[in-house]
Amino acid sequence: MEFETISPREIDAFLFREGYTVIDIREPRDFRRLHLKGAVCIPYENLQERAGFLKTQTLVLYCEHGGTSLKAARELAALGYRVKAMIGGIQAYRGRNLESYTA
């Protein structure tokens, strides 16, 4: 099974949209530092075990620079998930939906 890649400009269309779950696959400390509003943090190491709860959703993945989310998307697509991966990661995103939990 294949997965789709999307540009950083396209990801805003999937935030807060029914049927889609945007997942930051970085470590929690990186998520707290900077992430997309509405995204959930599921680190890459835990993704396959926790994604089972999201089988009915289309998963939209991003990481720091894009490489790990492409790898994860390939793995999840092979397991039958509907997946999209954002090219370039959070470092390439220039939109209005960034937030941070650090001071």
pLDDT string in tens for the chain (103-residue length) = 699 999 999 999 999 999 999 999 999 999 999 999 999 999 999 999 999 889 999 999 999 999 999 999 999 999 999 999 999 999 999 999 999 987 5
51 lies in some domain = yes
Which domain range does residue 29 map to?
4-95
Instruction: Please give the order of strands across the beta sheet that includes 58-62.
Output: 4-6, 82-86, 58-62, 20-24, 40-41
Q: Give the integer Cα–Cα distance in Å for 54 and 7.
A: 23
43 lies in some domain = yes
42 lies in some domain = yes
59 lies in some domain = yes
The confidence score (pLDDT) of residue 102 equals: 74
The confidence score (pLDDT) of residue 67 equals: 97
103 lies in some domain = no
17 lies in some domain = yes
User: How many domains, in total, are found in the chain?
Assistant: 1
Q: State the CATH number of the domain containing residue 66.
A: 3.40.250.10
User: Which pTM was predicted?
Assistant: 0.95
The confidence score (pLDDT) of residue 103 equals: 56
